[in-house]
Amino acid sequence: MDAFDMISEPLLFVEGLREYSGRVHQGVELIQSLTDALLAQDDEKTRTLHEQMVRVRDEVDQSRLSLYNQIKDMQYHSAGGDAFTQYMACQDKVADSSQAFAELFALRKTAVPIELRDDFRALIAEVVNVSRRTMSLVERLSSKLQTLCPDAETKDTLDDKGQAKQREMEFSRHLYSLEKQLDPVTVMFLDKYCAALHEVADNAERAGGHLRRMIG
């Protein structure tokens, strides 16, 4: 049985999936904007973006509930149904970690030392790219379901899967090489930034893997 057989109403599923996934990705993109505001020491913009992140997180919950309500009576192929459930779980963790990153900014505006800024920007950019590549897989699955064409092109778009981890390691190594020059609280918060970003990228990559299972 093809994985597409798990969905009895493909267009309804596609609409909900795009809405939910798009909201999650919007939260990840806000990480980039928050970082720009932090590096520019724009406290007002940081507060505004934090409030926006809270709203987006609420919208993720609303769109998730709407999607579940739309599909609760659909018939699932067991493998595809499991992949969908796991995809949603990973994306929820992406949304949680994106908000956690924003909450760290709200708790303490920890300045990123000049020596670390290039590495930090590179890490942020790659985290956003991971989410963007996952969204590309959402669109591939959506197109395949809309056309009901199992043979549609579904080339893996996560070729650079390891880049986020590499950027994370580069930032961490650089951070701890400067540990003696920084106060302990700053080191702790920068490490927390890194941990939140790791969770975003790791779960976005996992979500992409579950999408590939659904694509087949």
Instruction: Report the alpha-carbon distance of residue 85 to residue 106 in Å, rounded.
Output: 32
Residue 122 has pLDDT above 70, yes or no: yes
Of residues 178 and 163, the one with the higher pLDDT is 178
Least confident among 101-105, 106-110, 135-139, 169-173: 106-110
Torsion of CA 6, 93, 170, 161, to 10 degrees: 0
CB 25 within 8 A of CB 91: no
Q: Pull the structure tokens for residue 12.
A: 């309804």
Q: Report the share of the chain in percent with pLDDT over 90.
A: 61
Instruction: Report the alpha-carbon distance of residue 216 to residue 207 in Å, rounded.
Output: 14
Q: Pull the structure tokens for residue 14.
A: 């596609």
Q: Which residue type sits at 107?
A: L
Of residues 186 and 151, the one with the higher pLDDT is 186
Domain membership of residue 196 as a residue range: 3-215
Q: 9-53, pLDDT tens digit by residue? A: 667 778 888 999 999 999 999 999 999 999 998 999 999 999 999
Q: How many domains does the chain have?
A: 1
Residue 148 has pLDDT above 80, yes or no: no
| 114-153 CB burial, b ≥16 within 10 A, e <16 | eebeebbbbbbebbbbbbebbbebbebbbebbeeeeeeee
CATH, residue 141: 1.20.58.220
Residue 64 has pLDDT above 70, yes or no: yes
